[in-house]
């Protein structure tokens, strides 16, 4: 998978591609925080999908689309109160939320879930995001009215540290 971003104050655009099958690739693009659009690129007798996609990449980089390094993503945590070390039901809920966050954040160009933890009275799901504020708004809207709406907080891990702000993505 390749993800490129063109960021601006308060938003930006994303473009990404991945192989779905041999010779079949998906290209997905849009405004950060939106589902955007996608299309399938297939290899043909005269043109490999990879070459078609590379031409597109070569046209995007000069206009400011660049990858964002993992260390430049904000770490967005979704926290829930649980009893003690948690139950099997809590663990199932965490795994379902991890899947949901991969869908929500992935299809809106905002990032991906990196797993979670459970125990000592809390359960957390960790997400790497390119825009903390946009991702937080998207997650709050996505979880409203669902079994996941009972979170205790959504926060940026490390935001207390002077070197880390909630909005860590480069301009």
Which pLDDT belongs to residue 9?
A: 85
Cα–Cα separations (whole angstroms), residue 29 to 39, 108, 149: 9, 9, 28
pLDDT tens, 32-80? 999 999 999 999 999 999 999 999 999 999 999 999 999 999 999 999 9
Contact indicator for 93, 21 with CB cutoff of 8 Å:
no
Class of the CATH domain delimited by 70-156 = alpha beta
Is pLDDT above 90 for 106? yes
pLDDT at position 163: 36
Query: What is the reported pLDDT for 11?
Result: 87
Q: What integer best gives the mean pLDDT of the chain?
A: 92
> Which residue has tokens 């390119």?
130
Q: Three-state DSSP class for 17?
A: strand
- For the chain, the first-to-last Cα distance in angstroms comes to 22
Report percent pLDDT > 70 for the chain: 93
* Residue ranges per structural domain of the chain: 2-63, 70-156
CATH fold for the domain made of 2-63? q64v53_bacfr protein fold (2.20.140)
């Amino acid at each position: 998978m390749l993800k490129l971003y063109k960021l601006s104050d308060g938003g930006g655009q994303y473009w990404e591609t991945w192989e779905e099958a041999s010779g079949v690739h998906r290209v997905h693009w849009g405004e950060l925080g939106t589902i955007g659009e996608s299309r399938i690129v297939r290899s043909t007798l005269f043109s490999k999908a990879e070459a078609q996609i590379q031409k597109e990449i070569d046209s995007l980089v000069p206009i400011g689309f660049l990858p964002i390094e993992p260390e430049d993503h904000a770490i967005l945590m979704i926290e829930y109160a649980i009893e003690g070390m948690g139950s099997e039901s809590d663990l199932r809920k965490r795994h379902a939320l991890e899947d949901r966050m991969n869908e929500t954040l992935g299809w809106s160009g905002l990032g991906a879930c990196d797993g979670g933890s459970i125990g000592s009275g809390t359960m957390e799901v960790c997400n790497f995001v390119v825009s903390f504020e946009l991702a937080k708004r998207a997650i709050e809207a996505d979880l409203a009215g669902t079994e996941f709406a009972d979170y205790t907080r959504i926060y940026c891990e490390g935001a207390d540290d002077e070197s880390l702000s909630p909005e860590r993505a480069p301009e």
